[in-house]
Amino acid sequence: MVKLEDIDPSLLPPNLTPTELENLIAAYYYSCDFVSPTCPVTATTLGYYPNRGINIFLSVGFGIALLATVHHGVRTKTLTYSGFVAAGCALELAGYISRIPLASNPWNKKAFETQIVAIILAPTLLCISVYLTLKHVCLSLNPGLSRVKPRLYPFIFVPLDISCLMVQAIGGALAAGGAVSNIRLVEHGNRAIIAGIVLQVVVLGGFGGVGGEFLYRVGKWIKTGEAGEEVVRLWNDRGFRRFGYAVLGAYVAILLRCIYRIAEMAGGWGNHIMQDEWSFVVLEGIMVLIACLLLAFFPPGVLFPEMAARMAAGRKSAKGDVEGQTQTGTSTVEKGVVGGNVAETSTGTESEKEKAVPVSSTAVKKEESI
């Protein structure tokens, strides 16, 4: 990247402030379309030609993870969980496919903007799938040992994670908007992205603390011999443990990636960490690929059937409630056309039936489908 002190002042308009000079340089380099003596690769944000082979390898890996996730999600009907994993894999795939053209031309703006947005935001979607597992683990082992009602976990951590996503998206929009001629706007966007990632690390840390403490309490409870046979069977089940270790591995990989991103973004766009390709490949690309492969090939529908069954039952119950209400309304209208007395009796009967269904039960059914 060109430094201000390296520029001959005689070549510039007079009476420029440092900020105006920075904006002028930013506008000049934003007009670059390909590498040339006046637009060197070192002046790009990345500062290097991305390795084509590495990016093809990562693209294939994320593509495989995406296909496996969709396959298991449809087959086992764990649509909510698999949907977020698949969305994260798809964004990563788009990001690394976009890095392939940068190997030939690092000044390719569309490819650069696509990869930076997709790769920054994708892990947030993977986090949501991880957060969904804790509710079902608690319900299957011992809900009473959880510090928080299990059904509330998705409503706590998912909105927090989405807020991280929104803050990072706003930061990316500010940075993109100021890239042409406003270096200060780019810096504000960078700070917003860092804030979003820091918040994500805090949320991940909180989730890890709550989940770890619950599992510790369950372990102690099972050792007392008070746990039922089904709980002990699930706790010792190899499939359940493989699923748990896979989620833990994905959690650690995403956490390491987020910590790296904070360090990478802290120095601003084009800093020496951002321009080190191999630290990016290992701590960003490989870490997230590990997370995607673990979540894709150790699915709850196969290894944790209790979670899949609960999600499927919740969807069927919610669907049944909707169909029942529709049929009730239709029956009342039809009988009302035939005769007033019959209509009054039918309406009264159906109203009593509706009152007999607890509202809380319907709410729980909808929540269990998450």
Domain ranges of the chain: 50-97+114-303, 314-368
Whether the predicted model's global pTM rises above the 0.85 cut: no
Does 27 score more than 70 pLDDT?
Answer: no
Instruction: Say if residues 95 and 125 touch (Cβ distance below 8 Å).
Output: no
73 DSSP assignment: H
pLDDT band at 353 (very low <50, low <70, confident <90, very high): very low
pLDDT band at 345 (very low <50, low <70, confident <90, very high): very low
pLDDT of residue 146: 93
Work out the mean pLDDT of the chain and round it to a whole number: 82
pLDDT band at 125 (very low <50, low <70, confident <90, very high): very high
Helix (H, G, I), strand (E, B) or coil at 36: strand
Rounded CA-CA distance 75/66 in Å is: 14
Q: Residues of 324-360 as b/e, b for ≥16 C-beta within 10 angstroms?
A: eeeebeeebeebeeeeeeebeebbeebeeeeeeeeee
Contacts of 101 (CB under 8 A, 6+ apart): 108, 111
pLDDT band at 239 (very low <50, low <70, confident <90, very high): very high
For 179-232, how does the pLDDT look when each residue is reduced to its tens digit (9 = 90+)?
555 667 777 888 898 999 999 999 999 999 999 999 999 999 999 999 899 999
Domain 50-97+114-303 fold is Rhopdopsin 7-helix transmembrane proteins (1.20.1070)
What crossing angle do the helices spanning 305-338 and 340-356 adopt, rounded to 10°? 160
Does 342 score more than 50 pLDDT?
Answer: no
Rounded CA-CA distance 187/178 in Å is: 9
pLDDT band at 325 (very low <50, low <70, confident <90, very high): low
How far CA 251 is from CA of 87, 102, 216, in Å, comes to: 17, 30, 17
Helix (H, G, I), strand (E, B) or coil at 126: helix
Does 349 score more than 80 pLDDT?
Answer: no
Helix, strand, coil % over all residues of the chain, rounded to 5: 80, 0, 20
- Higher-confidence residue of 348 and 302: namely 302
Does 336 score more than 50 pLDDT?
Answer: no
Q: Please say whether the dihedral angle defined by the alpha carbons of residues 210, 284, 89 and 249, taken in this order, is positive or negative.
A: negative
pLDDT band at 298 (very low <50, low <70, confident <90, very high): very high
Rounded CA-CA distance 40/355 in Å is: 73
Mean pLDDT calculated for residue range 138-157: 93
Rounded CA-CA distance 109/111 in Å is: 5
Contacts of 188 (CB under 8 A, 6+ apart): 171, 174, 178
pLDDT of residue 358: 39
Mean pLDDT calculated for residue range 45-49: 91
Task: Say which residue the tokens 């920054």 belong to.
Answer: 120
Mean pLDDT calculated for residue range 233-258: 96
